[in-house]
Every structure is written in C-alpha cells, then in structure tokens.
Structure 1
Amino acid sequence: MRVTLERTHLLKSLNHVHRVVERRNTIPILSNVLIRASEGEVQLKATDLDLDALETVPAMVERPGATTVPAHMFYDIVRKLPDGSQVSLETSSDGGTLIILSGRSRFALQMLPESDFPDITVGELSHRFTLPAKELKRLIDRTQFAISTEEIRYYLNGIFFHTVDTPAGSKFRAVATDGHRLAQANMPAPDGARGMPGIIVPRKTVGEIQKLLEDPEAEVTVELSDAKIRISVGAVILTSKLIDGTFPDYGRVIPQSNDKELRVDKSEFAEAVDRVSTVSSERGRAVKLTLSEGKLVLTVVNPDSGSATEELHVEYDDDPLDIGFNARYLLDIAAQLSTDTALFRLADPGSPTLIQDSADAETLYVLMPMRV
C-alpha cells in the first residue's frame, strides 16, 4: 500500500474514528485502526466490538492495500505534524511496519494484518429516515445528562428513542432517566420513523453521535433494527449495537396533577443554588426550597461546616411548601433550559416535581425530591 493524503483531511477523520478505541485492550487488534486504500480514497475504521466508526477520505492512491496500526499513536503523530503538510503512508517491503512520511519526519509503526480486524455484522435494518443534525443534537443535549451510570440497571445506561402519537401529531422522542431524575424531549417524527421499534442507544454511542453533529445544517441518516443502529453524517458512518433490555414505563413517573406553579428566573435560580450549595456535604448536596407567596428561600445546612440561605423574588401564589432537592440535579436541569424563565409544577414534599421551560412544550424534566 502506498498513499498520499492531506494532513487536515486525515486528522479530521482520525479524530472521528480513533475515539471509539478504548485506551486499554486485552485484544491487540482492537487497539488498532484499519486503513484500507482503494482508487482515489482511503477508508479509516475503528471498533470496540459494540460500536464501530468508518470514514472515507480522499487520497492519491499509488498502490491499493490495507493494514492496521495503533489508533491513538497514529492519531497523535498526525496531530503533531505541521498544518498544511502532506502525509504519505506506505507499507514496508517485509509487511511488518507502516512508514509515515511528512516533510522531514519519518515514523514506522508496527502493523497487524487486516484479516484480524473484526467486523460488526449489521443484518437487516428495518427502518430508515433522515432528520436535521440540529434537531437530533437538541434531543441528545436535552436528555444526555440524565443517563444512568449504574451498571446494575444496564437498561438505563442510554437514551430511549421511540415514536409516540400525541394530540399535536406523531413525535420522535428521546428519554433518559437514572431513577432520580428524568429528561424527555420531542421533535416531529420524520418520514419513515413511525412504527420503529423503541431502541436504547448506549451512553458511549450517544456521546460519539453528539460529537459528529458539528454542522447544524447537515442531514443525518438513521437506519435501525431492534438490535443495531447505523448513523450516517457526511462521510462518517457509525454502527452500534443497542442495549438489549426493556426501558421502564417512564410515563408513570411523569406527574399529571401537580397544581402548584412556581416561575423563577432561570439564571438567578441557578446562581443562588450554586452559591448556597457551596457549604453542602459532597454526599448529601441537599438544598431546601421554602416557598411562600412571591418568595423562595433556598437553605443548605451542613452540620460539619455551617449553613447558607438566599432569598429570591418569584411568581408563586399557592400554599406554603417546603421541599428538598439534590443541588447538582437542579443545576443540571437549569443548564438545559433554553428560555429565561423556569416553570416548576409541584405537589407536595414527597412527590416528583415537573420542571419545564416556560415557552417550550417539547421538553420536560422530572425530579424526585430529597428528605431535608
């Protein structure tokens, strides 16, 4: 194999595919990126057996061929080469190393054969649709923070994508929960999505998709079955296994009859929560919200270090209420809100609270209270 590429194109593609590769691998070939050169192009591919990333780069191919080299080392080499340089890749005559040439720099990386590189069997993908990158990014941005990190409840370790019929029409919905908080975001269902199976996209795959959605004007093609998903954005194709589990009936935890409404300036609220939580314990992080007509008092008491209170003027004209929340969770949700005013719908100190943007009916958050 002998090819020449623009360093900029090669680096951009390696940046997309090398992230799939885990830093520590017990199987040597999984530490490598596959380089396959054919007429006018080079394919770069990496996998961890659950997720693989493939990107095609334009190149001047003098001699076609394929090999694999350590992904992170190859990426670091290309990253450190000068901007605007040309990079030549050539397999050695003995077939043991890949020679990388650029200007006066020369590197030789140990290779493993292409035949050892695994391939995720995709099978038949039953549904296919396209949607704008900015819409898919919005769904992920609004829900990703609520993905559970507990491996025991593995079926919560991703975002649940599915379609639902609502009075406003068919919706493509993303939901994530860790049992303490829940995030839900909708968009109009794209053509081809109706009737799709409900799928749980793993946390790592969600993160990689999010990084690919750099161009808000781009179109994203989604192909899926009940076991696999393939996402195509520009020249990049991500293929991933889905979480094999049943997402819980999340609708049961979304309160329908919370009748106490609190409206508060999002930024003022987040800054106040951040300030008073400074004295909270790392383990507890509980902040008490004391509501009375037109007033909200935030209180944190830490027996080991002290206490803090802050008062805010708010829109609230219902019965007085004391309720506690995890400060970190409140800040996470506030960071997702896109309008200036946060709307809290509350019931009592022991029931879940509904939080929304005052002007965004497509997104909602549910937060379980804490005992304070």
Structure 2
Amino acid sequence: MKVTLERTDLLKSLTHVHRVVERRNTIPILSNVLLRCDGGELRLKATDLDLEISETVAAMVEQPGATTVPAHMIYDIVRKLPDGAQVQLETSADNATLEIRAGRSRFALQMLPEADFPDLTAGEFSHVFSLPAGDFKRLIDSTQFAISTEETRYYLNGIYFHTVETPGGERFRAVATDGHRLAQAEIPAPSGSSGMPGVIVPRKTVGEIQKLLEDPQADVKVEISETKVRLTTANVVLTSKLIDGTFPDYGRVIPQHNDKLLQVDREEFKEAVDRVSTISSERGRAVKMALSEGRMVLTVINPDSGTATEELAVDYEADPLEIGFNSRYLLDIAAQLDKDTARFRFADPGAPTLIQDDGSEEALYVLMPMRV
C-alpha cells in the first residue's frame, strides 16, 4: 500500500481510534490499528474485542492495500510531526514494515498481517433511528457521573437506555446509578426507537461516544440489537457489545411523596458546598445540611483538622430538617443542573432526596443521605 494525506486529518482519525486500544495486551494484534486504503480514502480501525471504532479519511491513494501497525506508536509519531506536513505511508518491499515519511522524518514500524485483525461482527439490528448529537450528548453528560465502578454489580457499569410511555408521549431515557445516587435524563423518543430493547451501554463505550459527538448539530444514526449498539456519525462508525445483564427497577427508588421543598440558588449552593468541604477528609466527605425557614446552614466536621460552616438564604417553609450527604456527590449533581435555581425535595433524614432544575422535568437526580 502507498497513500499520502494531511497530517491534521490523519492525527484527528488516529486520536479517535487509538483510544480504544489498551496499553497492555496479551494478544499482539489488539495493540494494532488496521489501515486500509483504496478509492481515494484511508480507513482506520481499532478494537478491544468489546468495542470497535473505524473512521474514514480522504487521502491520495497510489497503491491500494492494508496492514496493521502499533496504534499508540503511530499516534505518537503523527502527533509529533510538524503541523501542515504531508504524511506518506508505504509498506516496504519485503512487506515487513510500514514506512512513514513526512518532510525529513522517516520511521519504519513493524507490521502484523491484516488477516489477523479481528472483526466485531455486528449481526442484525432490530431498531434504527437518528437523533441530534447535541441531544444524545446531553443524555450522556447528565448521567455518566453516576455509573458504578463496582465490578461485582457489573449490570450497573454503564448507562441504561430505553423508551418509556409518559402522559406527555413516548420518551427516550438514560439512567445510571451506583447505589448511592441515581441520574435520569430524557428527550422525546426519536422516530424508530419505539419498542427498542432496553440496553446497558458499557462505561468505556459511553466515554468514547461522548468524545465522538463533537458537532451538536450533526445527526447520529443509532442501531440497536439485543447484544450490540452501533453509532454512525459523519465518517466514524462505533460498534460495541452491550452489558449482558438486567438493569434494576430504578423506578422504585425515585421518591414520589417527598413533601419538604427547598429552592436555592444553584451557583451559590455549589460554591458553598465546595468551600465547606475543603476541610473534609478523604474517608469522611459528609456535609450536614440544617434547614429552617428561609435559611440553610452547611456544616463539615473533621476531627483531624477542624470544622467549617456556611449559611445560605433559601426558599424553605417546611419543618426544620437536618440531613447529611456526601459532598462530592452533591457537587457532581449540582454541576449537571442548568437553571439558576435548584429544587430539592426531602422526606426525612434517612430517606432519599430528589433533586432537579427548577421548572424542568428533563432530568432528575436521587441522592441517598449519609449519617452525620
């Protein structure tokens, strides 16, 4: 093979595909990126057997062909080449190395045969639909922080996407939980998504999708089956296995009868929690929230370093309440809220609390309290 293309175009594609490749691999071919050129384009593909990303980039093809080279190595080489350079990729006469030329720079990388490169066979997809990248990214951004990292409950190690019937029509919903907090976001269901199977998209795939959704105005094509999901945006195709498990009935933990309403300026609240949590220890991140009519007092006590308190004016008219939360979890949720005013609904110090943007039903957050 022999192909020439812009360094900027090649680097952008390598940036997308090389992230899939694990740094340490027991199977050598999985450390490599597949390069295939023909018909005026170069296709790059990488996989870890669970997730596969391929991208097509325009190129000047002098000799069609395909090979595989170490993904992180070629990425680092291209990244360090001067901006604006023309990069030429050519397999050697003995088909042992891929030669990379740009200006006065010359590199030769060891190759492995294209035939060894695995293909993540997609199979049939039962549901196909499109939605704006901005909407899809918002669903992920609003819920990703709540994905569990606990491997024993593997079915919580991703975002659960599904459609639900609501009084306002069918909705496309994303949910994530780690047992301490729950995040739910939704948009009107795209045409074609009705009746789709509920799917759990793994954490790593979610992270890659998030990075690929660069243009919020672009449309993303989503294809779903019982075991796989495939996303197509512009010239990038991402295929991933789904988590084979049953997501819990999360509706049971969303409180329906929390009658103590608190409304607070979101930014003031976030900054106050951040300030008082400065003295909290790594082990004990608890912040106590003492509520009385018109005021909130935030308190953090660390036996090793001292105490911190801050008072905020709030809109609260219910019975006085003292409740504790993990300060990091509070800040994670506050960072997802968009409106000027945050709305909290409490029941009692031992019951989950419901948090939302004031006047918006697009996203909701449930936070379990801590003993303080």
Residues 80-159 of structure 1: pairs in structure 2 closer than 5 A: 80-159=80-159
Question: How far off is 1:358 after superposition?
Answer: 0.4
Question: How far off is 1:81 after superposition?
Answer: 1.1
Residues 267-286 of structure 1: pairs in structure 2 closer than 5 A: 267-286=267-286
Q: 1:211 corresponds to which letter in structure 2? A: K
* Distance in 2, Cα, partners of 1:249 & 1:151: 19
Question: How far off is 1:121 after superposition?
Answer: 1.4
> Once structures 1 and 2 are overlaid, which stretch shifts more, 252-261 or 20-29?
20-29
Q: 1:38 corresponds to which letter in structure 2? A: D
Could you list the runs of 5+ residues in structure 1 that have no partner in the other structure? none
Corresponding residue for residue 190 of structure 2: 190
* Distance in 2, Cα, partners of 1:39 & 1:138: 36
Residues 197-346 of structure 1: pairs in structure 2 closer than 5 A: 197-346=197-346
Corresponding residue for residue 8 of structure 1: 8
* Partner-residue secondary structure (3-state), 1:310: strand
* Distance in 1, Cα, partners of 2:313 & 2:58: 59
* Distance in 2, Cα, partners of 1:259 & 1:151: 36
Question: How far off is 1:8 after superposition?
Answer: 1.2
Q: 2:179 corresponds to which letter in structure 1? A: G
* Partner-residue secondary structure (3-state), 1:152: helix
TM (normalized to structure 2)?
0.99
Tell me the matched-pair count. Answer: 372
* Partner-residue secondary structure (3-state), 1:26: coil
* Distance in 1, Cα, partners of 2:293 & 2:64: 75
Corresponding residue for residue 351 of structure 1: 351
Question: How far off is 1:148 after superposition?
Answer: 0.3
Corresponding residue for residue 52 of structure 2: 52
Question: How far off is 1:278 after superposition?
Answer: 1.2
* Distance in 1, Cα, partners of 2:360 & 2:105: 54
Question: How far off is 1:335 after superposition?
Answer: 0.2
* 1:274-322 CA distance string (max 9 Å, x none): 1111111211100000000000000111111111111000000010000
* Distance in 1, Cα, partners of 2:6 & 2:285: 50
* Partner-residue secondary structure (3-state), 1:287: strand
TM (normalized to structure 1)?
0.99
Question: How far off is 1:360 after superposition?
Answer: 1.6
Q: 1:107 corresponds to which letter in structure 2? A: F
* Partner-residue secondary structure (3-state), 1:20: coil
Could you list the runs of 5+ residues in structure 2 that have no partner in the other structure? none
Identity over aligned pairs, percent: 77
* Distance in 2, Cα, partners of 1:339 & 1:116: 52
Corresponding residue for residue 37 of structure 2: 37
Q: 1:346 corresponds to which letter in structure 2? A: F
> Once structures 1 and 2 are overlaid, which stretch shifts more, 190-199 or 20-29?
20-29
Root mean square deviation, CA, Å: 0.6
* 1:317-345 CA distance string (max 9 Å, x none): 01000000000000000000001110000
Residues 10-29 of structure 1: pairs in structure 2 closer than 5 A: 10-29=10-29
Q: 1:221 corresponds to which letter in structure 2? A: K
Corresponding residue for residue 169 of structure 1: 169
Question: How far off is 1:7 after superposition?
Answer: 1.1
* 1:75-103 CA distance string (max 9 Å, x none): 11111111111110000011110000111
Question: How far off is 1:59 after superposition?
Answer: 1.0
* 1:83-126 CA distance string (max 9 Å, x none): 11111000001111000011111100000000110111111111
Question: How far off is 1:359 after superposition?
Answer: 2.5
Question: How far off is 1:217 after superposition?
Answer: 0.8
